[in-house]
Structure 1
Amino acid sequence: MNNLLKYLSDLTELPGISGKEDKVREYILEKIKDKVDEYHVDVMGNLITKVKGKDSSKKIMLLAHMDEVGFMVTKINDDGTFHISPVGGGDPRVVFSQRLMVNGQLLSVVQIKPIHLLSANERKSKPDYNNFKIYTGLDKNEIKKKVKIGDMVTFDTKFYMNENRAISKAFDDRAGCSWMMNLIDTIAEGEKPKYDTYFAFVVQEEVGLRGSGVAAHYINPDVALVLEGTTAGDYPLLDKDKWATHLGDGPATFFMHSGVVLSKDIFDRIVDTAKANDIKLQFKMRTAGGTDARRLAITLDGIPSGILAVPSRYIHSPNTIIDINDYINGYKLLELLVLEGRILK
């Protein structure tokens, strides 16, 4: 697990909204291309790799999405500002006064009227993307050279960790991507998996689960395991019965979520493997939200799938927090499920 946290740190700092995952894919491919038996980038931009197992009679598909929630430039003004629209399920409340990056290169800031100048009604109003203007410090000639309609905009966030917790953007789902990269490293060091294993780094999950179905058609797996970052609601403003998951209680697995009921067989194998190896595991207790498992359920003849996820507090924000032990224990459980073939009967 030498590279596990390094991969996580590097990946979360890269820009990569839905449809513009290039920098993330390039980083991953550079690190793993010499460690896999096959790799393929499809028309959508999915990166699909294969590692041969001891037994080629079954195929396991692991998948994590490379894209993060973010924004796209929709209008450029003569005063050195521009407007944005959300890409994915962003929350306008967390965007006020944030530093943003255009294409990972140009720093900008979300303008906000000072509280001293707000009317009584304005103080009560909810933030609206239509009212945001993003300031670059450029004049009208320079901004039109450096900013184009459709350009990618992401939060300007750096990775930081202490002994117990890490904070960054895009743990959803660079956490899953880093798990897969490290598992490829482990296999390359001599830990051959029981069955042929495909690692699908997929695109456009945040805008409708777009890439996973295409990748699944290419692989045609027997089972799939979706690796994710998921909602943790353990903060004082939310009642405990609405927490979903809790930081420090281990990685999470799901029995269902919006649009799909997960495979009971795979769910049981995840739970049994965790118990047999004394790995703390929690269940996501709210079924809101969705993952690529929903797409897999209606792809081909229906692909039985399970989910393993890192609880993430303040998800889809510039400052998401995870518990380091949850993350590491999730990876340990992933190794057992894949290398020993426990994800299959």
Structure 2
Amino acid sequence: MTSLHSQATIGNESYPLPPNWVVETLRAGIAIPAHPLALTDQLKLDDRKQRGLSRYYHAAGAKGLAVGVHTTQFEIRQPKHALLQPVLELAQETIVDCDERQGRKTVLIAGICGCERQAIEEARLARELGYHLGMVSLSALSNLDDQALVEHCRAIAHEIPIFGFYMQTAVGGRKLSVDFWRSLALIPNLIGIKIAPFDRYKTLDVLQAVTESGRGDKIVLYTGNDDNIVLDLLTKYTFFYEGRMESLRIVGGLLGHWACWTKRAVELLDTCKKTWDQQTVASDLLTLAGQVTDCNAALFDAKNNFHGCIPGVHYVLQQQGLLANLHCLDPKVGLSLGQREEINRVRASYPHLIDDAFVQENIDTWLT
């Protein structure tokens, strides 16, 4: 099975391209939750809850899904768990079924990790399973220089169209230069970039590099800055390039934060997009930006350097009935002291950002 329908040939090199509808959907700006991992008490894949989560995201209006990424837990790749293929298959099958029932098309993105051999194997697997794009994590390549990193991404790009990923250092990412992003942007089937360094300066580095690559009109930009979601989506970024001012937009989000309260996330994105043709932004949206960041500080355990960022999302989903427990594959990972209370605080403080009622109305259907 494959979702790729054409090739871009540059010199003697060939690069697969996704279907046109995938690119058009991404350019329009969509919400892409980063899919969590549902486990039984025996740390086995909980098929029922895993399918239920995928159905929840689809029903909430997410037009994309990222699987096998940080929120899914990188440990799924360890031989003792061997969960990468089952998790990718289950999400793809569930979403395709939902799409067929509702006449929709959902963009599927698979996380790609590890050294070149592992990454290429994962890219081939994702392509064969029907994923449209591979999002490349560079966290395992801390000793490579910029050029080697670009060549690593290029090797993956020969297997599947790619999404760049600037991952924050607190959870395993590495610092990346403007030169790296400028060179990466020249890979013909780099379709988009998830900008997630949780750092204003590094975010601007990516935007500057894309502008200077001359491919600003070809590469879609998505926020992964869970600490700055609303402002990323409201801002028009401008850079001086070749004698004129060029403008860029971050058009959507690919976020762990959006793995819960997803219906509200979809609505939030739509609200932000409606401001793009306006000269000013209403002050209530700036207030909302702070509220969303407050929620994220609790979810992602910012006070403890993000130790509980995955179980924080699990806790919300467990409270809604979408997960059975808070288990992670790494036994050292769990809620931090006081994190549960912080999440309960933001749940009570910002009911307009919570989709509990929507979940309760539909959860029985999703879990059948």
TM tier, smaller:
under 0.3
Flag the structure with higher strand content. 1
- After TM superposition, the score normalised by the length of structure 2 is 0.23
Query: What TM-score results when the alignment is normalised by the length of structure 1?
Result: 0.24
Greater relative contact order, per chain length (Cα 8 Å cut-off, separation 6+): 1
**For the pair shown, which has the larger CA radius of gyration, 1 or 2?**
1
The structure whose residues are more often helix, as a share, is 2
